[in-house]
């Protein structure tokens, strides 16, 4: 749960304290504590940054400003629909709010990609294959859906041009989308007004001739139309009646916690791909909307549920156990951020920084220290920029990064405050085993495990080296790699 | 023997990027209880290997192996004579034409599947996808059936044009991640390949032993397709590390690099040759892209000019080294392209009458089987589909594809039991 | 002779049908004949005066390059005359046509000579001109020299009288898509797949300068292929402006998702201006020219087809005509009042820019015999 809500494994002291706590409501108290903490906001910022931006290069909006915008939004528990509106109703012109426009700007406002990603992220429909014809495999996704979304954007463009790092979004007062299906033998050219799939088209408000612009286009002048199609987008997408919005949001938050969406894959909500638990999906979507899209409320409900708290351990006599039945918890591979932060926490680097910062310790100052060390993990485990995180793959590069790479080795190397150094100072091998397990696996070792590890550590000579090797083996093991 | 099953029991609910229908991505019963039937390992003496060249997107059979010039579908290119009298191929493959005596063409392919993902699946697994079972791709099967014991190199290697392949990495299906491919993106050897001096080989061995022990314990109560893929990746990595040299095509003679061409596909084919020579059982090289709905002719000029030379050089080299009779080479796509030319000079997806080219182990060289009609719109003689081809590959390699795998004790024929090998082209 | 033209009055005059998709089309210098090449390897000659359709057989591959010698100076048969004659049904008199040579280049690299006015033309000469496609053929203003270009990255000059090669212009690094003689007679431009335009001095054979139309090219990294090329090229009559066209903004090369674009160059100083269609249109610009009024006209398509008109001074797309088929080539009638489009649906579409006529007035005076 610490991984889900703060993005890292708990510190050893936190683990020990929780295990020792005997109060019956220690779980819900911990949930509240984690949700209230600054690390929650950081974790949500990271998760949504990757979801919304797919690790694209920072070209037109600085990373720091965007992260701050997201972090502040989650710290303040901004309603999710408001957050999305701030992202979609932003032309980037006001420097105070420009960061939120990153969604558009760092996609260069490329119409095909923006259309696909709005549909995918906020409506749960990946309509990419519906650009040239009705989707060949999903009956519910039509070409007119693709262009219905694109019609919100088609009059907008980056001013002065797409290469300018300070570009803002400008808009013309005219222009229609046009599309032909490549499978249509008659090659009929069609058009559509801006439309959210399933809802009525939003007709343009026609201005009188000569009054189409507030500021007319001219050389080096950013045009502002009297009626803006783009301005209709945010409200249309987040409208309460547009159930797909709340449903997609609830599904993604569920997936963040449980490792799998009720609708799976996340981007393919359609009648041929029913949620694993349709009533639960409808309930979550409905309640989320009723609660004004309160993110902390939803995460708390999920965290308190029996489903979430169910162990991933297989019962001895298990029959059919498909993932989508949640009979045991799904083993979730750590995200690149979770992996990096957890390695740094487990090896003691994070605590060393905490100690260094002393009175100056705050979430942002700690982040500043950790960020340079996180980069290697993001590069190695993150998706390619612009591509959605797509399932788990264990690549040769990653394996060699763990086996031979400098980065991980230097994390494990003994130094003041590090795990290995701390464990080496303990008296008994059994205690060392406890420290290792509580720190890396966040659980005490079983008797057999304690014996095995103690055995390896019994020779006094080269104990530090043995501890380093054991720490490496544990960090490289499946138990650490997966959240269970 | 206690079967070790996945948590999900019914298999790997893995997201295949190509499977858009979420509900259809079903998996298979766990595989750890699987024993390869001894019968499936019947081999002719000597190590065999396989190379697949995957022309991604759907190469046009009319611009390659089965041209129909001066017809309503033929397009502007000529058909040229080859080193085998009576066999003509497209003028876009002049080098390959000179080596037709090494090739075997199958021109009557009808796979009846026009969608990229499903088409690729049929060509790579020899079957249509079915719920409840995850068939292994040809590379995993080859690696499994042809492996010697104590294999030093990974048996299943993919060379892709860039990072981020569009195909699922879980390509070993029910054979398990041991036979899943290692991908060399852009043919480059991975970073951190060599063991650093500060890590002694003893230390490496000891901590790896501990890692395995920890994973074994964890797997007793918690296991999934992903945890297995993760733990297996270390075994594969160890093999690659031990034979790091093999993965560096830069060690080949620069003259060879010139012959193959200094472009990406040329480099990749040279690396493929090197890996096969060093003992990798199966290599698949992907060339992108051929999905020419628009300007089919210009794009095929460009892509085939990249393909023709390195393909021909590799055939020459295999022949020169005496490796061609023990190496099966297959050039395939997920489907072909429509005989009808659309209004943007493009050809669209077409699986009703297309071609696959092969060479090497167990085949009749310089032969062509299967015919299409005058303008390529239908197969007229010896129609075959993915199942027949799959049988043919493994028969040619000296295996018996009618035998069974036994994932979890359940008998699953290696190749589609409704089809059989194309005996006319087997030597 | 110049009938008043008004692009906004552009209308379909007639549809000349053929069974196979068309690739290229050109009027002969008199404007009486319209030649159209098709995917059946043949060239169709439509006699606009008599209505006759003749197949020119001799190529074994597709043809796009069509050019004529002499290239200017031939008396023009105004389309208005022809309308009253053959298209109106029943020739009033059939003039003896001014002889000309047709040159056509095919995708096997062969350049063919034809006597264009013969009843059933056969090739009178065949030259293996290029290794790979001939993509365009042009004839010099004095009618003596032909220029060809193609997939061997070369431009070649030929003597039309005897087919001798005159010179090879080497320098392009990609397929050469188009070639045109400057009306002044001294210079030649050639344009390639990557958007490079070379301006050659015909006397010395060296490159005077290069013009940049690289926006009409892109290497699509997703598909690992080049898309683009200068698909159409032309000068205004005085040679003060050069126009070229193709496809830009490509987001999916293999599905042809991109937009047509025209680039207008000032010939003197080489400055470039982009002329865009006002309405979003997905497709390629296939051909471009300049009308006697100076208006820039282009045709293209992607699914359907379009004709676009631009005001060259302010770059506005003043008028657009929707065409029912992808217009894969366009020819300007020498009388400046009409254009023909090579339709992917097999039709040669003849559009006039003159308003619909009033009921027939006095009969046409018989023309002098040549």
A322-331, A396-405, B107-116: range with lowest mean pLDDT = A322-331
Question: Where in the sequence is the domain holding B237, given as residue range(s)?
Answer: 19-425
Residue B28 has pLDDT above 70, yes or no: no
B152-172: b (≥16 Cβ within 10 Å) or e: ebbbbbbbbbeeebebbbbbb
Instruction: Express as a percent the part of chain B with pLDDT over 70.
Output: 87
Res. B35 pLDDT band, cuts 50 70 90: very low
**Cα Rg for chain B, rounded, in angstroms?**
22
What phi and psi, each to the nearest 5 degrees, are found at residue B246? -60, -25
* Residue B169 pLDDT: 60
Residue C107 with chain B: CB contacts under 8 Å? 76-77
B234 domain residue, yes or no: yes
Any domain includes B318: yes
Residue C56 lies in a domain: yes
Q: Which long-range contacts (CB under 8 A, 24 or more apart) does A431-438 make?
A: A432/A457, A432/A467, A433/A457, A435/A12, A436/A467, A436/A470, A436/A471, A436/A474, A437/A474, A438/A12, A438/A15, A438/A16
Is the predicted pLDDT of residue C362 greater than 80, yes or no? Answer: no
> What pLDDT, on a 0 to 100 scale, did the predictor assign at position B17?
27
Could you report the per-residue pLDDT of C228-240, keeping only the tens digit for each? Answer: 999 999 999 999 9
pLDDT for residue A192 is more than 80: yes
pLDDT of the residue at B4:
29
Residues of chain A found within 8 Å of residue C282, distances taken between Cβ atoms: 178-180
In a domain, C1, yes or no: no
Tally of residues, chain B: 427
DSSP sequence for C264-315:
EEETTT--EEEE--SS---SEEEEEEE-TTS-EEEEEEESEEEEEEE-TTT-
Q: What pLDDT band is residue B20 in, cutting at 50, 70 and 90?
A: very low
- Residue B36 in this model has a pLDDT that exceeds 50: no
pLDDT band at B45 (very low <50, low <70, confident <90, very high): very low
Q: Which residues touch B84 (CB under 8 Å, ≥6 apart)?
A: B100, B101, B366
User: Which residue among B193, B210, B233 places its CB closest to the CB of A469?
Assistant: B210
Quote the distance between the C-alpha of residue A39 and its chain's center: 14
Identify whether B264 is part of a domain: yes
Instruction: Quote the radius of gyration of chain A (alpha carbons, Å).
Output: 25
Specify which of A137-141, A345-349, B150-154 reaches the highest per-range mean pLDDT: A345-349
Q: Confidence band (pLDDT; 50, 70, 90) for A317? A: low
CB-CB under 8 Å, A177 with C282: no
CA distance C77 to C1: 9
Distances (CA, A) of A462 to A458, A466, C149, C307: 10, 6, 77, 83
Answer yes or no: is B167 within a domain: yes
Confidence of residue A131 (pLDDT cuts 50, 70, 90): confident
Predicted local distance difference test score (pLDDT) of residue B21: 31
Q: Which residue, among B118, B136, B103, has the nearest Cα to B315 in the 3D structure? A: B103
Q: Cis bond leading into B289, ω under 30°?
A: yes
| C183: CATH | 2.130.10.10
Q: Please determine, for residue B44, whether its predicted confidence score (pLDDT) is greater than 70.
A: no
Q: Is residue B57 part of a domain?
A: yes
* Winning range, highest mean pLDDT, from A308-312, C200-204, C254-258: C200-204
The total number of residues shown for chain C amounts to: 370
- How many CB pairs (< 8 A) connect B and C? 72
Is C185 a residue whose pLDDT tops 90? yes
Q: Give me Rg for the CA atoms of chain C.
A: 19
Q: What is the mean pLDDT of residues A320-346?
A: 83
Is residue C150's pLDDT more than 50?
A: yes
pLDDT of residue B11: 24
Domain that holds residue C334: 7-352
pLDDT of residue A132: 79
How close C255 gets to chain A, by Cα (Å)? Answer: 8
Q: Note the pLDDT of residue B150.
A: 59
pLDDT value at residue B43:
33
Test the B interface: residue of A473, A474, A484 with most B CBs within 10 Å = A473
Q: What DSSP letter does each residue of B223-273 carry, written as one string?
A: --HHHHHHHHHHHHHHHHHHTGGGG-GGGS-HHHHHHH-SSHHHHHHHHHH
Q: What is the mean pLDDT of chain A?
A: 89
Q: What's the confidence (pLDDT) of residue C255? A: 86
| C335-347 confidence digits (pLDDT tens) | 999 999 999 999 9
Q: Is the pLDDT of residue A120 over 70?
A: yes
Average pLDDT in the A447-466 region?
Answer: 88
Smallest Cβ distance to B293: which of C224, C255, C301?
C255
CB atoms within 10 A of CB A351: 18
Does residue C202 sit within a domain?
A: yes
* CATH number, position B219: 3.40.720
pLDDT over 80 (residue B167)? no
CB B32 within 8 A of CB B3: yes
pLDDT of residue A81: 95
Within a domain: C307: yes
* Between C251 and C173, the higher pLDDT residue: C173
Give the residue from B11, B22, B237 with the most A CB atoms within 10 Å of its CB, the best one to mutate: B22
**What does DSSP assign to residue B130?**
B
Tell me, yes or no, whether C297 lies in a domain.
Answer: yes
Chain A nearest C-alpha distance from B369 (Å):
33
- Report helix, strand or coil for B330: strand
* Chain C hits for A175, Cβ within 8 Å: 279-280
| pLDDT above 70: residue C44 | yes
What is the pLDDT at residue A393? 78
Q: What is the DSSP annotation of C306-317?
A: EEEEE-TTT--E
What's the whole-number average pLDDT of chain C?
Answer: 92
Judge whether residue B394 has pLDDT over 80: yes
Contact B111, B386 (CB under 8 A): yes
Chain A residues whose beta carbon lies within 8 Å of the beta carbon of residue C279? 175-176, 178
User: In chain C, what percentage of residues exceed pLDDT 90?
Assistant: 82
Q: Is residue A12 pLDDT above 90, yes or no?
A: no
Residue C363 lies in a domain: no
The answer, yes or no, to whether residue A354 has pLDDT greater than 80, is: yes
Task: Look at residue B98 in the predicted model and tell me its pLDDT.
Answer: 98
> How far is it, in rounded angstroms, from Cα B44 to Cα B47?
8
Q: Which pLDDT score is estimated for B409? A: 82
Residue-averaged pLDDT of chain B: 86
pLDDT, tens digit (0-9, with 9 covering 90-100), for B129-143? 887 788 999 999 999
Confirm whether B2 is domain-assigned. Answer: no
* Number of separate domains in chain B: 1
The first and second tokens of residue A155, run together, are: 């009059």
Q: Is residue B11 part of a domain?
A: no
Share of chain B above pLDDT 90, in %: 67
Position C4 scores a pLDDT of 77
Task: Say if residue A377's pLDDT is above 50.
Answer: yes
Asked whether the beta carbons of residue A392 and residue B229 sit closer than 8 angstroms, the reply is yes
Residue A163 CB coordination number (10 Å): 10
B190: in domain: yes
Q: What is the pLDDT of residue B308?
A: 98
d(CA B96, CA B100): 6
Give C222's pLDDT tier (boundaries 50, 70, 90): confident
pLDDT the model gives residue B385: 97
Average pLDDT estimate for C242-259: 92
* pLDDT confidence tier of residue A19, bands split at 50, 70 and 90: confident
Q: For chain C, what is the domain count?
A: 1
**Is residue C2 in some structural domain?**
no
Of B10, B199, B224, the CB nearest to A320: B10
Which of B160, B290, B299 has the most C C-beta neighbours within 10 Å, making it the best mutation to test the interface with C? Answer: B299
Quick one: tokens of A462? Answer: 């080269």
Cβ-proximal residues to B394 (8 Å cutoff; 6+ apart), any chain: B141, B142, B145, B400, B401, B414, B415, B421
Test A182 with C255 for CB contact under 8 angstroms. yes
Least confident residue range of A93-107, A205-219, A389-403, C142-156: A389-403
Q: Has residue A235 got a pLDDT over 80?
A: yes
Q: Give me the pLDDT at residue A433, please.
A: 92
Asked whether B63 and B297 are in contact (CB, 8 A), the reply is yes
Q: How confident is the model at residue B223 (pLDDT cuts 50, 70, 90)?
A: confident
pLDDT at B16: 28
- pLDDT at A207 > cutoff 90: no
pLDDT tens digits, C74-131 = 889 888 877 655 554 445 556 788 899 999 999 999 999 999 999 999 999 999 999 9
Name C158's bridge partners.
Answer: C146, C165
Q: Mean pLDDT over residues B396-423, rounded?
A: 94
| DSSP structure string for C52-76 | -EEEE---SS-EEEEEEES-S-PPP
- Say yes or no to pLDDT of B230 above 70: yes
Mean pLDDT of B332-361: 97
Q: Does pLDDT of A76 surpass 60? A: yes
Could you tell me the pLDDT band of residue B164, with boundaries at 50, 70 and 90? very low
* CA distances to B44, B311, B321 from B314, in Å: 24, 5, 11
pLDDT at C1 over 70: no
User: In the predicted model, is pLDDT for residue B165 greater than 80?
Assistant: no
Give me the mean pLDDT over the B287-298 stretch: 96
Between chains, do B229 and A394 touch, taking CB under 8 Å as contact? yes
Residue C94 has what pLDDT?
A: 63
Within 8 A of B119 by CB-CB distance, chain A residues are none
B272 touches B314 (CB < 8 A): yes
- Cα-to-chain-centroid distance, residue C161: 23
Between CA B49 and CA B57, with CA B52 as vertex, the angle to 5 degrees is 170
> Quick check: B10 pLDDT over 50?
no
pLDDT at C30: 94
Cβ separation B7–A321 shorter than 8 A: yes
* Residue A216: pLDDT over 50: yes
Enumerate residues 298 to 317 of chain A having a beta carbon within 8 A of any beta carbon in chain B.
Answer: 312-314
């Amino acid at each position: 749960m610490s991984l889900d809500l703060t993005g890292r494994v708990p510190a050893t002291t936190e683990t020990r304290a929780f295990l020792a706590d005997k109060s019956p409501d220690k779980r819900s108290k911990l949930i509240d504590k984690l949700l209230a903490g600054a690390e929650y906001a950081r974790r949500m910022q990271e998760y949504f940054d990757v979801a919304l931006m797919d690790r694209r290069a920072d070209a037109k909006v600085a990373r720091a400003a965007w992260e701050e915008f997201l972090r502040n939004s989650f710290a303040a528990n901004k309603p999710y629909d408001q957050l999305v509106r701030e992202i979609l109703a932003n032309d980037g012109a006001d420097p105070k709010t420009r960061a939120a426009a990153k969604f558009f700007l760092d996609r260069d406002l490329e119409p095909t990609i923006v259309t696909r990603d709005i549909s995918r992220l906020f409506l749960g429909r990946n309509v990419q294959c519906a650009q040239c014809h009705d989707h060949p495999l999903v009956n519910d996704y039509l070409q007119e859906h693709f262009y219905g979304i694109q019609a919100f954007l088609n009059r907008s463009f980056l001013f002065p041009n797409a290469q300018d790092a300070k570009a803002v979004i400008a808009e013309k007062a005219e222009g229609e989308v046009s599309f032909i299906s490549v499978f249509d033998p008659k090659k009929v050219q069609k058009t559509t007004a801006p439309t959210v799939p399933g809802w009525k088209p939003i007709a343009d408000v026609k201005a009188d001739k000569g009054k189409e612009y507030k500021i007319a286009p001219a050389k080096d002048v950013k045009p502002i139309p009297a009626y803006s199609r783009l301005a209709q987008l945010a409200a249309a997408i987040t409208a309460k009646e547009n159930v797909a919005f709340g449903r997609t949001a609830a599904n993604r938050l569920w997936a963040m916690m449980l490792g799998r969406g009720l609708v799976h894959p996340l981007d393919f909500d359609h009648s041929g791909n029913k949620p694993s638990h349709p009533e639960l999906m409808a309930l979550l979507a409905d309640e989320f909307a009723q609660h004004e899209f309160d993110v902390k409320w939803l995460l708390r409900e999920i965290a308190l549920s029996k489903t979430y708290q169910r162990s991933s351990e297989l019962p001895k006599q298990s029959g059919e156990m498909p993932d989508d039945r949640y009979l045991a918890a799904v083993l979730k591979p750590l995200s690149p951020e979770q992996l990096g932060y957890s390695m740094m926490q487990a090896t003691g680097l994070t605590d060393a920084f905490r100690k260094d910062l002393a009175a100056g310790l705050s979430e942002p100052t700690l982040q500043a220290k950790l960020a340079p060390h996180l980069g290697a993990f993001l590069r190695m485990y993150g998706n390619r920029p612009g591509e959605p995180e797509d399932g788990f793959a264990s690549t040769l590069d990653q394996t060699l990064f763990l086996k031979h790479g400098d980065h991980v080795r230097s994390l494990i190397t003994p130094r003041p405050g590090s795990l290995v150094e701390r464990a080496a100072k303990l008296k008994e091998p059994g205690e060392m085993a406890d420290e290792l397990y509580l720190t890396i696996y966040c659980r005490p070792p079983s008797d057999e495990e304690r014996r095995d590890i103690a055995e390896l550590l019994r020779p006094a000579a080269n104990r530090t080296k043995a501890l380093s090797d054991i720490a490496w083996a544990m960090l490289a093991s499946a138990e650490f790699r997966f959240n269970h | 023997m206690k079967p070790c099953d996945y948590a999900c029991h019914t298999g790997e609910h893995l997201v295949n990027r190509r499977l858009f229908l979420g509900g259809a991505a079903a998996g298979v019963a766990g595989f750890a209880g699987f024993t390869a039937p001894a019968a499936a390992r019947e081999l002719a003496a000597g190590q065999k290997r396989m190379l697949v060249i995957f022309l991604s997107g759907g190469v046009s059979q009319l611009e390659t192996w089965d041209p129909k010039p001066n017809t309503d579908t033929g397009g502007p290119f000529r058909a040229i004579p080859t080193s085998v009298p009576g066999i003509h191929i497209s003028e876009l493959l002049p080098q390959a034409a000179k080596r037709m005596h090494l090739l075997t063409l199958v021109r009557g392919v009808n796979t009846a599947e026009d969608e990229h993902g499903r088409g690729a699946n049929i060509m790579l697994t020899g079957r249509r996808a079915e719920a409840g079972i995850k068939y292994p791709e040809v590379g995993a099967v080859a690696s499994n059936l042809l492996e010697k014991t104590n294999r030093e190199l990974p048996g299943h290697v993919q060379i892709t044009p860039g990072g981020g392949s569009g195909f699922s990495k879980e390509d070993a299906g029910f054979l398990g991640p041991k036979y899943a491919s290692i991908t060399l993106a852009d043919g480059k050897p991975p970073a951190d390949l060599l063991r650093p001096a500060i890590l002694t080989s003893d230390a490496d061995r000891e901590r790896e032993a501990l890692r395995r022990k920890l994973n074994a314990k964890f797997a007793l109560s918690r296991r999934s397709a992903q945890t297995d893929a993760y733990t297996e990746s270390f075994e594969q990595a160890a093999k690659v590390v031990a034979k790091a040299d093999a993965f560096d095509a830069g060690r080949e003679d620069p003259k060879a690099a010139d012959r193959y061409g200094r472009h990406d596909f040329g480099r990749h084919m040279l690396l493929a040759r090197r890996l096969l020579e060093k003992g990798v059982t199966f290599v698949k090289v992907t060339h992108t892209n051929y999905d020419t709905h628009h300007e089919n002719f210009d794009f095929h000029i460009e892509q085939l000019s990249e393909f023709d030379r390195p393909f021909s050089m590799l055939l020459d080299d295999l022949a020169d080294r005496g490796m061609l009779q023990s190496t099966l080479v297959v050039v395939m796509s997920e489907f072909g392209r429509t005989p009808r030319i659309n209004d943007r000079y493009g050809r669209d997806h077409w699986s009703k009458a297309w071609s696959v080219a092969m060479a090497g182990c167990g085949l009749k060289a310089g032969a062509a089987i299967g015919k299409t009609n005058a303008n390529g719109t239908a197969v007229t003689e010896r129609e075959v589909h993915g199942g027949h081809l799959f049988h043919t590959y493994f028969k040619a390699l000296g295996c018996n594809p009618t035998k069974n795998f036994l994932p979890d004790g359940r008998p699953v024929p290696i190749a589609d039991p409704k089809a059989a090998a194309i005996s006319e082209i087997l030597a | 002779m110049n009938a008043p033209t008004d692009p906004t009055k552009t209308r379909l005059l007639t549809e000349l049908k053929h069974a196979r998709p068309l690739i290229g089309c050109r009027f002969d210098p008199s404007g009486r004949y319209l030649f159209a090449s098709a995917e059946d390897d043949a060239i169709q000659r439509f006699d606009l005066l008599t209505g006759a359709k003749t197949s020119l057989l001799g190529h074994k591959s597709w043809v796009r390059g069509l050019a004529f010698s002499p290239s200017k100076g031939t008396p023009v048969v105004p389309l208005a005359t022809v309308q009253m004659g053959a298209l109106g049904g029943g020739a009033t008199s059939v003039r003896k046509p001014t002889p000309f040579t047709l040159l056509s280049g095919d995708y096997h690299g062969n350049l063919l000579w034809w006597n264009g006015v013969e009843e059933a033309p056969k090739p009178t000469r065949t030259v293996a001109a290029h290794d790979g496609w001939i993509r365009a053929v042009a004839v010099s203003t004095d009618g003596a020299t032909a220029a060809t270009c193609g997939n061997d990255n070369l431009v070649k000059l030929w003597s039309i009288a005897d087919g001798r090669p005159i010179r090879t212009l080497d320098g392009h690094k990609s397929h050469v898509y188009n070639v045109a003689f400057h009306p002044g007679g001294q210079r030649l431009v050639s344009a390639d797949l990557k958007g490079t335009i070379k301006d050659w001095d015909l006397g010395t054979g060296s490159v005077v300068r290069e013009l940049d139309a690289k926006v009409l090219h892109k290497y699509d990294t997703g598909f690992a292929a080049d898309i683009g090329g200068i698909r159409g090229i032309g000068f205004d009559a005085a040679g003060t402006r050069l126009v070229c066209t193709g496809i830009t903004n490509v987001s999916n090369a293999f599905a042809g998702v991109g937009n047509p674009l025209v680039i207008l160059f000032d010939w003197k100083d080489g400055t470039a201006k982009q002329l865009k269609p006002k309405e979003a249109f997905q497709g390629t610009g296939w051909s471009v020219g300049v009308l006697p009024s100076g208006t820039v006209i282009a045709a293209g398509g992607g699914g359907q087809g379009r004709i676009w008109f631009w005001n060259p001074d302010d770059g506005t797309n003043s008028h657009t005509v929707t065409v029912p088929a992808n217009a894969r080539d366009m020819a300007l009638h020498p009388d400046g009042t009409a254009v023909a489009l090579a339709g992917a649906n097999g039709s040669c579409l003849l559009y006039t820019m003159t308003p619909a006529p009033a009921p027939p007035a006095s009969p046409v005076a018989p023309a002098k015999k040549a």
